[in-house]
Amino acid sequence: MFIRAYLRASTADQDANRAKQQLVEFAQQHGHIIANTYTENVSGASLQRPELFRLLDDAHPGDVLLVEQVDRLSRLTEGDWKQLLGTIKAKGVKVVALDLPTSHMAMAPAKTDSTADAFTARIIEAINGMLLDMLAAVARKDYDDRLRRQRQGIEKAKDDKRYQGKSIDQGKHAAILACLAKDMSIRETAQVTGTSTATVQRAKKLQEQQSAS
């Protein structure tokens, strides 16, 4: 059994090797050394992972694919995740993630098979598969939620910018407020101050917001 560590970060300015020592120490605690490390900077939402697939090409049945967290392996859509998982299973590779404690048993030395041991191993493998799927789904949801919040923030910023428009000259702003204080209409105020009605409305709205805060 070879331990093959996979390290990933989303962007080039992030340190993909950040968790390397943690994986090394984890392997040592279980009586193993890491045979090879595969590192790349690529989005977890992309299936275009040259280093990950190089790892799988190098791997043999029974080898361990070691990751810090399941989301280092996948923030994929359901279809892409099933494709990747199918490749992993076809290679006979065991996934071990530090945030999936039940997977750690794959690091234990192999025992001579008995009926009970074989049954237990199959049960644990089934549980690991279920939990791995669940964590991959959670990682994808977290990714989708972050994208949605980013889009909402961008749209709000655009809306605020459209509303604010050009900043109002401070001198004209004071003149507009003075006219409004005299109960002049928006149109009259615009004519007197030499501004547009939209500028007068912005000044009035700004004053109302400041008074309310």
Question: Known catalytic residues?
Answer: 10
Identify which of 47, 32, 1, 39 has the alpha carbon closest to the alpha carbon of residue 18: 39
Tokens representing residue 52 in the block:
């990950």
In terms of Cβ atoms closer than 10 Å to its own Cβ (0-12, 13-18, 19+), residue 43 is middle
Helices H / strands E in the chain, number of each: 8, 4
Tokens representing residue 128 in the block:
């690991």
The whole-angstrom separation of Cα 83 and Cα 197 is 60
